[in-house]
Amino acid sequence: MGVALSKPIAPAEFLAWEERQELRYEFDGFRPVAMTGGTLGHDRITFNLQKALDRALAGKPCRPFGPNAKILAAGRVRYPDAIITCTPQDRKATIVGEPIVLFEVAREGTSRTDRIDKVLEYRTIPSMQRYIIVEQDAIAATVFERTATDWIGRVFTGQVVLAVPEAGIEIPLVDLYADVEIAIPESGKPLEQTASPDHTE
């Protein structure tokens, strides 16, 4: 849900306002939007994702953050479910600088935001190389990768390994669904899809 305001506010005004709130809010460029609770399945997948990233990045220069850390993108403030950055961060900071990979676990009611709005927002971050949307109701993920001229998207399903070369790691997709009651297909192959939601920069 959004917060009723008399006029749009700037990101700096939002950040100052949010510090005084008990709840977490995202900023859509115009107004604060309350972060609503997710399902138990969403919570478990997000937990498994964090565990997988912690394990894979142990001893490496890159670090995972989220879901309580935020980023700035195209004048918006977002809380991705997971963030990878290879730039040292101030431990007292609340905003992660120079993210290279962002993850969102899809949830009902946010499909347009995750699949359209955030794709367009995240591609404006100069350091960003990869955006991964993990499905909640199927063992699948949509991976957007930066190329020289655009973002290219591919859909992965089943027993595949998600490569994250920017951080030097790989993550088995099924690991994200441990203790989640979803049938695991016998095999899965990436479905090649060119995903260019907006060719304009």
**Over the stretch 106-142, which tens digit does the pLDDT of each residue have?**
987 778 889 999 999 999 999 999 999 999 999 999 9
- Give 79-99 pLDDT, tens digit per residue: 999 999 999 999 999 999 999
**Residues near 193 by beta carbon (within 8 Å), at least 6 away in sequence:** 153, 154, 155
pTM for the predicted model, two decimal places: 0.85
Strand partners, 178: none
The pLDDT assigned to 180 comes to 92
The pLDDT assigned to 35 comes to 85
3-state secondary structure 140-180: EEEEEEECCCCEEEEEEECCCEEEECCCCEEEEHHHHHCCC
Between 125 and 35, name the one with better pLDDT: 125
Is 101:132 a contact under the CB 8 Å cutoff?
A: yes
User: Which domains does the chain possess?
Assistant: 1-36 (no CATH), 38-192 (3.90.1570.10)
